[in-house]
Amino acid sequence: MPKLKYPTNLKVQAITRHFQDGEPISSICADLRVPPAACQQWCKEVIGNLPLFFDQSIKKQDRQKECRIEELQAEVVRKQEVIGEIMEAFTTLKKKNGAN
C-alpha cells in the first residue's frame, strides 16, 4: 500500500494543536482523520529539528549558499547574453558572405 502524503498545512495544524494548545494526539487525529502514528512521527521530526532551527551558523551557511546561487544565476544570464550577441554576429556574417 503506498504511503499517504498529507498537506503541509494539515501537519502544521496538527502539531500546533498538540504543542501549543495541549490537545491529545488521539483527538487531533480523530478530528483530522489522520493515523496517530503519522502525527507522532511529525511531532518527533519537529522536536528532532529544533537544534537546526536555533543554530545560527547553519542559517549563516544557508544565506551564503543562497548568495552564491544568485551570483551563479546572474553569471549564467550574462553568458547567455554574450552567446546571443555572438550568434547574432555569426548570423550577420553568414548572410554577408552568402552562406546559408
Ordered per-residue pLDDT tens for the chain, 100 residues: 557 788 999 999 999 999 999 999 999 999 999 999 999 999 999 998 888 777 777 778 888 898 899 999 999 999 999 999 999 999 999 999 886 5
Q: In angstroms, what CA-CA distances link 26 with 3, 37, 48?
A: 20, 10, 21
Q: State residue 99's pLDDT score.
A: 66
Residue indicated by cell numbers 503506498: 2
CB atoms within 10 A of CB 23: 14
Cα angle vertex 47, ends 14, 25, to 5°? Answer: 30
Contact status, residue 29 vs residue 14, Cβ threshold 8 Å: yes
| Cα–Cα distance measured from residue 18 to residue 25, given in angstroms and rounded to the nearest whole number | 6
Q: State residue 2's pLDDT score.
A: 59
Q: State residue 26's pLDDT score.
A: 93
Cell of 62: 544557508
Q: State residue 27's pLDDT score.
A: 93
Q: State residue 88's pLDDT score.
A: 95
